[in-house]
Amino acid sequence: MCKCLSNLTGFGKTYTCLTTLCHLLLKYSDTHAIILIPQKAIKAFKRELEEKLKIKYNIISSQDKREQEGARIHLITHTMLKDNIDYITELKEKGHRLLLLVDEAHILEDSKSKFYNYVANIRPLFAVVYFATATPLKNDIEGLYWLMYILDPNIVGDWWRFRSTYCILEKHMTYRMYGKGKNKQKKRVEVSEIVGYKNLDKLHKILDEYIIIKQKPYNLKYYYHKTELNEKEQDHYLEAGKGLLRESAKDSFAVRMHDLQMVVDNINEKYRVEEKLSSKEQLFLSLIKKKMELKQPSIVYCDYNDVITRLEKLLLISKKQTGVRQILKVTGDIPLKERTKVEEQIDNNTVVLITSAGSESVNLQKANSVIFYDIPFSIKTYIQTIGRVTRIDSKYNEQYIHHIEVSGTIDSYKRCLIQINGGLIESMFGRMETLPLEVGQVDRNVTYWLKQGLLWCFKQGRLLTESELEQILKQSKVN
């Protein structure tokens, strides 16, 4: 039996998975369950096993290794799987029937990762397999393919046949490096790029047999706050964007995107506005003031730690004007134990600054607002971030999702990406309560035109207007 369980954020995914496994363990006395979890999920799993299910378990992590006599549930963190493959193999050799549960299974969308290969190696040992995730699709269906392939190769078959069946391809010329050392040469080759999708209704029917989707409806309110660069900021932005026009930028497009975000966020050393607040920073502080006046504790998402540092400084300076009494942080630089303490510290006049490290396995339901200072590139990060406040035990009747956007810049580009990729999720899995309604209105085929529009603005030496962006979003309907 193979299933991908997609309990969307805040629905009690951990408890659902564990009760399912416990039911199977009671039914089959010779069965053991291996549960692979990220380090940051240990607290949640231990709480459910000890306080609610009251069942014995073994745990193997980098910080803790404990065994309980008679335990048939084995928690192993993702990072410890490599060193404990023999442990799992020995259980199988003793004649036990094995079940596998992989938590945060979207990590398996990267088939080149070491973790993917470790799981692939032990996959044949298991009679029953469950993958659990709140985001079964990131930004494309290639990742979904590899997730489903490791679940059961028969579901999706050969990659090249899958790609030709469900992907729209466009051929173009690019440069690739061949050889090693002194023999290394750059050669111009033809490649096929995925620019859109087709036959998704057919794929949806196939996946429907294997993916269980459960979610709780939330009363989400979406708001978009826009500002514009002043003349000096615009000059900086357009200058920084010229790098995208170079031939070499084709192989480092994502890096160039990050460079543009750093300019807009006022943390690029070369283009920083020092003497006063940037347009985006002014808009942010104005929104924070309104949230504090309404007694609405807020989660603020940023792409980079440097932006967190910058915003923390601004919030500290402006505490009196904004009404912020407490600033908390959940980033990769903060130890896991300190991150979990944040859950209990939130009060009405709190701002919690988070990066992608704070978008998973942290319950921040004491807040009811999310502010995207940076709109993520990844739909997975977008959904997971909203999921910090859409928890099943939230006391709020409404949650507010705010987007701060500097019009015509990388902010607008990323907002369009969320609309595009959110529409892909809706077409594959149905409506998700954590996505705004407008995401279903955009076709994934428009990605190519969006990228070209961004390049065009730097060739013309001016920012894209809102009407031009809307025209790009409609482009796929024409082509």
Reported as a single tens digit per residue, the pLDDT across 306-332 is 999 999 999 999 999 999 999 999 888
* Mean pLDDT confidence for 114-128: 96
Tokens at 161, concatenated: 């046949």
Contact 423, 453 (CB under 8 A): no
Contact 354, 387 (CB under 8 A): no
Burial (CB count within 10 angstroms: exposed 0-12, middle 13-18, buried 19+), residue 202: exposed
* Mean pLDDT confidence for 212-218: 75
**Class for domain 2-152+210-214, per CATH?**
alpha beta
- Rounded Cα distance between 48 and 401, Å, is 29
Q: What is the pLDDT of residues 144-161, one digit of tens each?
A: 999 999 999 999 999 999
Position 3 scores a pLDDT of 63
DSSP-derived letter for residue 48 is I
Q: What are residue 55's DSSP bridge partners?
A: none
Q: Any idea where the domains of the chain sit in the sequence?
A: 2-152+210-214, 167-209, 220-478
Question: Strands 58-60 and 65-66, how do they pair?
Answer: antiparallel
Q: What is the pLDDT of residues 13-45, one digit of tens each?
A: 888 889 989 999 999 999 999 999 999 889 889
Position 361 scores a pLDDT of 64
- pTM summary value: 0.78
- Rounded Cα distance between 25 and 32, Å, is 7
Question: Strands 350-354 and 326-330, how do they pair?
Answer: parallel
DSSP secondary structure of 277-327: --HHHHHHHHHHHHHHHTT--EEEE-S-HHHHHHHHHHHHHTHHHH---EE
Helix (H, G, I), strand (E, B) or coil at 111: coil
Q: What is the pLDDT of residues 247-295, one digit of tens each?
A: 665 666 677 788 889 989 998 877 776 668 899 999 999 999 999 999 9
Tokens at 36, concatenated: 């692979």
Q: What is the pLDDT of residues 330-341, one digit of tens each?
A: 888 877 778 778
Estimate to the nearest angstrom the gap between the alpha carbon of 276 and the chain centroid: 33
Distances in Å between the alpha carbon of 314 and those of 288, 308, 321?
Answer: 11, 10, 11
* Mean pLDDT confidence for 345-354: 93
Tell me which residue of 305, 303, 228 sits closest to 258, measured CA to CA. Answer: 303
Whole-number percent of the chain with pLDDT over 90: 46
The better pLDDT of the pair 281, 452 is held by: 281
Give 220-478's CATH code, choosing from 3.40.50.1860, 2.70.210.12, 3.30.2130.10, 3.40.50.300: 3.40.50.300
H or E stretch at 59:
strand 58-60
Assess whether pLDDT exceeds 60 at residue 478: no
Position 2 scores a pLDDT of 67
Position 479 scores a pLDDT of 44
Answer whether 2-152+210-214 and 220-478 agree in fold.
yes
Place of tokens 């692939």: 120
Furthest CA-CA distance within the chain: 72
Contacts of 404 (CB under 8 A, 6+ apart): 225, 227, 280, 283, 284, 287, 371, 372, 373, 411
Gyration radius of the chain over CA positions: 24
Assess whether pLDDT exceeds 90 at residue 452: no
Position 400 scores a pLDDT of 94
Contact 117, 98 (CB under 8 A): no
Burial (CB count within 10 angstroms: exposed 0-12, middle 13-18, buried 19+), residue 225: middle
Q: What is the pLDDT of residues 69-104, one digit of tens each?
A: 999 999 999 999 999 999 999 999 999 999 999 999
Assess whether pLDDT exceeds 60 at residue 354: yes
Contacts of 338 (CB under 8 A, 6+ apart): none
Contact 18, 53 (CB under 8 A): yes
- Rounded Cα distance between 361 and 86, Å, is 28
Res. 8 pLDDT band, cuts 50 70 90 = low
Q: What are residue 328's DSSP bridge partners?
A: 352
Distances in Å between the alpha carbon of 3 and those of 17, 119, 147, 149, 207?
Answer: 11, 15, 11, 12, 10
Q: What is the pLDDT of residues 387-445, one digit of tens each?
A: 888 877 778 888 999 999 999 999 998 888 888 877 777 776 666 777 787 776 666 66
HEC string of 183-232? HCEEEEEEEEEEEEECCHHHHHHHHCCCEEEECCCCCEEEEEEEECCCHH
- Rounded Cα distance between 235 and 232, Å, is 5
Mean model confidence pLDDT for the chain: 86
